[in-house]
Structure 1
Amino acid sequence: MAKFSVSLKARLFLHDHGKLLLLKQTKPNGGNYSLIGGTIERKEFAIQTLIRESQEEAGIELSEDDLELVHVLHKRSAKEHRIVLYFRAYHYDGTPESKELEKFENVEWWSLKELPKNLTGTVRHVLKAYNAGLIYSHLRK
């Protein structure tokens, strides 16, 4: 049987008055809109990852009580399986701003009814599944 790796990630749907917080990637990083989040580190749980990444990427503070698991994505390629846990939050402290300017040129609030055309395909897929009430979906890379 062929060996493959598994990576675990966590992402955040941060809502505020019908809007979703998105990160605008710099052009060298794709130039698309994405979500706060990242790889779950060896000594972290997913919620801890999101609390850390929210501070590092957008300068906002979350607490564990703010986060609710709403979707699981299983993404697969020939060499890797990626499991992404999507959490939702409505409360945060601070003012969102890009803290990693080499990765993200801006943070922006977007209406859930009018998302940007250059939203990453993965985020678009997950939002569609999430809005349909699905707790799980999968994609092939």
Structure 2
Amino acid sequence: MKRVDVVYVVLNDDHENVLMVKNRGKNGSYFTLPGGAVEQGETLAEAAEREVKEETGYEVKVGNILCVTEAFFDEPNHHAVFFTFSGEIKGGDIDLSNPEEIESVEWQSLKEAEKHALVVKQEGLLKEMKTVPYLLRR
């Protein structure tokens, strides 16, 4: 079983709406937070910032960790660990540079985003935005 680290970023506008991406999948489209797999040699924060830029066009600065979840997937044979960060938009504009993977980028209400945003459903998590420090030791 292969271990895969995945990062997501919660970007919101005054705790009212959350930026979501609509992904194209084998079994139809689905919404997630912007993010993706960590590449070799990247820190979690670097991967999160890169993935948001690639998927949405926005330049962001990640903050602290909102939650860590994990899941086991039979197909593919992966043990995935998901690191969900808070984040802040620093620049850029919505740009669908990868339309083969990303169908759209849109702001959703907290209630709607919570239906799609997290691997483990935790009502109120996006509204509360309680975080723990993310520390990088070099």
**Cα shift at 1:9:** 0.9
Partner residue of 1:138?
Answer: none
CA contact 2:65–2:131 (8 Å) conserved in 1: no
1:17-61 CA-partner distances (Å, limit 9, x unpaired): 311001112364631111111111111001000111111111111
Q: Which of 85, 88, 110 is the aligned partner of 2:86?
A: 88
TM-score relative to the length of structure 1:
0.75
SS at 1:15 equivalent: coil
1:85-113 CA-partner distances (Å, limit 9, x unpaired): 00011333122232210111110000103
Q: Which of 36, 39, 58 is the aligned partner of 1:38?
A: 36
1:101 and 2:99 matched: yes
Q: In 1, Cα distance between the equivalents of 2:64 and 2:70?
A: 18
When the two chains are superposed, the root-mean-square deviation of aligned CA atoms in Å is 2.7
Partner residue of 1:139?
Answer: none
CA contact 2:69–2:119 (8 Å) conserved in 1: no
Q: Which of 17, 20, 36 is the aligned partner of 1:19?
A: 17
CA contact 1:73–1:126 (8 Å) conserved in 2: no
Q: How many residues align?
A: 127
Letter in 2 for 1:15: N
Structure 1 stretches lacking a partner, 5+ long: 136-141
Change (3 A) 1:59 1:29: farther
The alignment-based identity, stated in percent, is 24
Q: Which of 57, 73, 81 is the aligned partner of 2:69?
A: 73
TM-score relative to the length of structure 2:
0.76
1:130 and 2:125 matched: yes
Letter in 2 for 1:73: T
Partner residue of 2:5?
Answer: 8
1:56-79 CA-partner distances (Å, limit 9, x unpaired): 11111113xx42211001112454
CA contact 1:16–1:90 (8 Å) conserved in 2: no
